[in-house]
């Protein structure tokens, strides 16, 4: 299946070449009773605008996709990185309306991502009240335990190896497993709060609720920005690209 990204060097615009370029667009009429078929040829339209310009093919950088909206939101803006082998670009895709095709913007630069860990404090307290009974754990001890977890987690870096256990409805937030070093530190500090019998219950609680999206898993939160940079590759180094038998070349002025 064709899935290529073609950049017009002169205009710094990009086209996504797929097997669906000639798929018709269906729209409803004014009364929303019948659908209207609109013939499309996305690549032909792009070549009519840029066919005599210099072009190059871009390769998408694996695992660079990120989005600022929920997975099911059709109008969300999404970003990923691509390269021509010398320069890096960010491709932004979005649509203003669900009835129109995606638009793309090509940005010279890269995506800078920052990671942060967050404790599910409310979920931990709620689950501990449900699980630690006979006798129930005192509310003050539960609150102290949550503060211990928050303090320990704040000391660990996101650069450490992280095991993702579940995704949420947005690519910016994931659940990740709490590591063994953090668990040992939490149990060590918890000796000051719980007696020996309760500490065993707490240890069992941690291990039973540290998978998938359960309360002891941490929320891995991503924030990102697009860092723009100026294109530095000399124009003389650009090679004309052959696209479906049409040679793209610089216009003679």
Which residues, listed in sequence order, are joined to residue 114 by a DSSP beta bridge?
223
Strands 25-28 vs 35-38: parallel, antiparallel or unpaired: antiparallel
Nearest residue to 251 (alpha-carbon basis) of 70, 51, 79, 16: 51
For residue 183, what are the contacts with CB-CB under 8 A and spacing of at least 6?
206, 207, 210
What phi and psi values does residue 3 have, to the nearest 5 degrees?
A: -155, 85
Give me the pLDDT at residue 200, please. 95
Assigned token pair, 194: 């719980």
**pLDDT tens digits in sequence order for the chain, 253 residues long:** 467 899 999 999 998 887 766 666 667 766 667 777 776 666 777 778 887 899 999 999 998 999 988 888 888 999 999 999 999 999 999 998 887 778 999 999 999 999 999 999 999 999 999 998 878 889 999 999 999 999 999 998 776 678 999 999 998 999 999 999 999 999 999 999 999 999 999 999 999 999 999 999 999 999 999 999 875 554 444 444 544 433 232 222 2
Give me the pLDDT at residue 232, please. 52
């Amino acid at each position: 299946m064709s899935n290529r990204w073609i950049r017009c060097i002169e205009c710094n615009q990009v086209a996504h070449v797929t097997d669906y370029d000639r798929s018709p667009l269906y729209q409803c009429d004014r009364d929303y009773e019948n659908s209207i078929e609109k013939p499309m040829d996305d690549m032909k339209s792009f070549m009519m605008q840029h066919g005599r310009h210099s072009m190059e093919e871009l390769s998408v950088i694996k695992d660079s996709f990120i989005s600022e909206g929920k997975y099911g939101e059709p109008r969300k803006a999404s970003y990923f990185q691509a390269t021509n082998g010398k320069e890096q670009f960010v491709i932004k895709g979005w649509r203003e309306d669900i009835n129109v095709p995606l638009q793309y913007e090509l940005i010279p630069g890269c995506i800078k991502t920052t990671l942060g860990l967050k404790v599910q404090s409310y979920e931990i307290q709620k689950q501990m009240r449900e699980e630690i009974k006979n006798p129930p754990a005192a509310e003050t001890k539960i609150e102290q335990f949550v503060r211990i977890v928050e303090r320990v987690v704040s000391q660990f870096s996101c650069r450490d190896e992280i095991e993702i256990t579940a995704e949420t409805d947005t690519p910016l937030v994931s659940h990740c497993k709490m590591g063994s070093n953090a668990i040992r530190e939490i149990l060590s500090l918890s000796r000051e709060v719980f007696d020996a019998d309760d500490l065993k219950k707490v240890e069992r609680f941690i291990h039973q609720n540290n998978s998938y999206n359960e309360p002891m898993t941490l929320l891995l939160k991503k924030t990102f920005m697009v860092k723009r940079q100026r294109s530095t590759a000399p124009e003389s180094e650009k090679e004309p690209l052959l696209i479906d038998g049409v040679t793209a070349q610089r216009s003679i002025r």
